[in-house]
Amino acid sequence: MNAISSVHAREIIDSRGNPTVEVDVVLADGTRGRAAVPSGASTGTREAVELRDGDPGRYHGKGVRRAVEAVNTEIAAALKGHDATDQAGADRVLIELDGTADKSRLGANATLGVSLALVRAAAGSAGQPLYRYLGGADATLLPMPLMNIVNGGAHADNPLDFQEFMIVPVGAGTFAEAVRMGSEVFHALRGALRAAGQNTNVGDEGGFAPDLRTAEEALTFVTEAIAATGYRPGADVAIALDPAASEFYQGGRYLHRDPGEHVAYLAGLVDAFPIVSIEDGVAQDDHAGWVALTRAIGGRCQLVGDDVFCTNEALLRQGIADGVGNAILIKVNQIGTLTETLATVGTARAAGYRVVMSHRSGETEDTTIADLAVATGCGQIKTGSLSRSDRTAKYNQLIRIEEELGERATLDPYLRVRV
C-alpha cells in the first residue's frame, strides 16, 4: 500500500488577486501531488461553502487561513496513513470529518484542495497522467471548448447584463484546431471593437469587456468577428451564452421583463443568432422559468444548469425529474470533493444530460479540470478566453493531452451535429 505520509496547505493568490488554498499531498514513496482551489463570483446559493476568515485586517476579510489550518491539523491527522489509491474512502473521511451538509465547518476550499492533490499524487505514483489514471485507456475524447470572449455581469465593470458570450469552434477537427480558430476570432473581435471606438480591456475571464449595452450588440460583434475571420457563423464557429440570470433576477422579474417575456426573449436570440448553448438562462430560484425555457427551446438548444444544480447530485436528480434543462455545468469547488463530482457527472450522463466541465471566474495555474474533462469523456469544457495564463493553462494542457493520445484522440462532435 502506498500511504499518505503528509498533507500540507498554504495560502496562495488567484487570478483576481484574492487568496486561495493550495494543497500538497506527499505519499510514502515520495510522490507529491499538488492542487489549487478556484473561486466563483456569481455563485449559486446552494454551493458548498468556501471558508473565508472574515478578518478585515487581512485581504479585506478574504483570507483563507482557517481553511489552511483545517487542512494542516484535523485533515492531515485524519488522512495520514490512508491508502492513496482509495480516493472514495479518503473523500468519505473528508465529508464525515466536516460533518455538515455544505462543508461549512472545514470549508469546501479545504476539502477540495486535499481531494484533488491526493488524486494527483496517486496518478503520479502510478506513473500515469491524471486523465488516464482516472479515465483508463478509453479516455480519448477531447472536450469541445466554449471560449468566453465577451465578459459582462459580475465579471466586468461594463453595462452588459449577460455574463458570458462564448464561441464554440464546432467546425474544428481537433482540439488544437479549435484553439487556433478561437484565437483567430478573438483577435478579429479585438480589431472590430477597436475600429468601433470601443475599449479592448478584459474582464475576469480574459474576454473583452466593452461598453456595450445589450446582448444583441455583443452578439452582433461576435457574429461579425466570426465571419470576418472567414468562418461561417454556426457551421464553423457557433455561439454559447451564460447570462448568469440569477444575478439580475429580482422580485420575480428579469430587469424590465417578466419571466414569460424573458423566455421569449431568449428564444428570439436563438432564432436570430447561431446560439447552440445557453447556461443559466433563467435564475436558480425561478423553477417555473426553467421548465418553461426547457419546453420552449430545449429541443433545439443545449440548456446548461449551473446555479440551479451547483454540481450537487441531489439537486440534479430533482431537476431531471422536473424537466429542468438538458445539461449540467460541473465546477469541482461547488461540491468540494472529486468523488462527489464524479458521481454527479455519472448521474447526468445516465439521464442523457450533457456535461460541461468548467473553471471558475477566479482561477490559478492549476490544470486539473482539463484532465478531468478527458478522464470523464464529458464532451465539453468552458475555461475562459484565449488570453490570460489562468485560462490558457487549461487549453494548453488539452493540446498536450491530444498530442499524447495521437491518432486515438477525437473531438466531441455533439454541438457540431446540432448546427
Strands in 4-13's sheet, in edge-to-edge order, are 4-13, 19-27, 32-36
| CA–CA separation, 180 and 177 (whole Å) | 5
Residue closer to Mg ion, measured from CB, 15 or 339? 15
Residue closer to ligand PEP, measured from CB, 27 or 278? 278
Is 128 annotated in a binding site? The answer is: no
Question: Shortest Cβ distance from residue 42 to ligand PEP (Å)?
Answer: 4
The window from 85-93, 98-106, 175-183, 240-248 that contacts Mg ion (CB under 5 A) reads 240-248
Of the candidate residues 244, 276, 308, 332, the single one contacting ligand PEP (CB under 6 A): 244
> Applying CB under 5 A, does 242 fall inside the site for Mg ion?
yes
Q: Residue 109 phi/psi, 5° resolution?
A: -70, -30
Residues with catalytic roles: 205, 331
Is 161 annotated in a binding site? The answer is: no
Selection from ligand PEP, Mg ion, none that 40 binds (CB < 5 to 8 A by kind) is ligand PEP
User: 3-state DSSP call for residue 365?
Assistant: coil
User: How many CA atoms are closer than 13 Å to the CA of 407, on its beta-carbon side?
Assistant: 0
Question: The C-alpha cell of 404 is what?
Answer: 499524447
Selection from Mg ion, ligand PEP, none that 360 binds (CB < 5 to 8 A by kind) is ligand PEP
The window from 8-16, 228-236, 279-287, 366-374 that contacts Mg ion (CB under 5 A) reads 279-287
User: How many CA atoms are closer than 13 Å to the CA of 351, on its beta-carbon side?
Assistant: 23
* SS3 letters across 256-297: CECHHHHHHHHHHHHHHCCEEEEECCCCCCCHHHHHHHHHHH
Give the bridge partners for 239, in sequence order: 167, 275
User: Which residue in 84, 106, 86, 85 sits closest to 95, CA to CA?
Assistant: 106
Is 358 annotated in a binding site? The answer is: no
Residue closer to Mg ion, measured from CB, 28 or 154? 154
Residues 290-309 that bind ligand PEP (CB under 6 A): 306
Question: Shortest Cβ distance from residue 392 to Mg ion (Å)?
Answer: 20
Residue closer to Mg ion, measured from CB, 280 or 366? 280
By CB under 6 A, the count of residues binding ligand PEP is 11
First to last CA, the chain: 50
The window from 137-145, 171-179, 217-225, 273-281 that contacts Mg ion (CB under 5 A) reads 273-281
The window from 53-61, 272-280, 295-303, 336-344 that contacts Mg ion (CB under 5 A) reads 272-280
Of the candidate residues 22, 205, 306, 340, the single one contacting Mg ion (CB under 5 A): 306
> Applying CB under 6 A, does 242 fall inside the site for ligand PEP?
yes
User: Which residue in 83, 114, 102 sits closest to 2, CA to CA?
Assistant: 83
Q: CA angle at residue 405 from 86 to 238, to 5 degrees?
A: 105
String of DSSP letters for 179-196: HHHHHHHHHHHHHHHHHT
Is 418 annotated in a binding site? The answer is: no
Residues 314-373 that bind ligand PEP (CB under 6 A): 329, 358, 360-361
| CA–CA separation, 243 and 278 (whole Å) | 8
Question: Shortest Cβ distance from residue 372 to ligand PEP (Å)?
Answer: 15
Selection from Mg ion, ligand PEP, none that 223 binds (CB < 5 to 8 A by kind) is none
Residues 37-56 that bind ligand PEP (CB under 6 A): 40-43
**66, 53 Cβ separation under 8 angstroms:** yes
**226, 171 Cβ separation under 8 angstroms:** no
Q: Binding residues for ligand PEP, per CB under 6 A?
A: 40-43, 242, 244, 306, 329, 358, 360-361
Q: Binding residues for Mg ion, per CB under 5 A?
A: 242, 280, 306
Binding-site residue set for Mg(2+)? 242, 279, 306
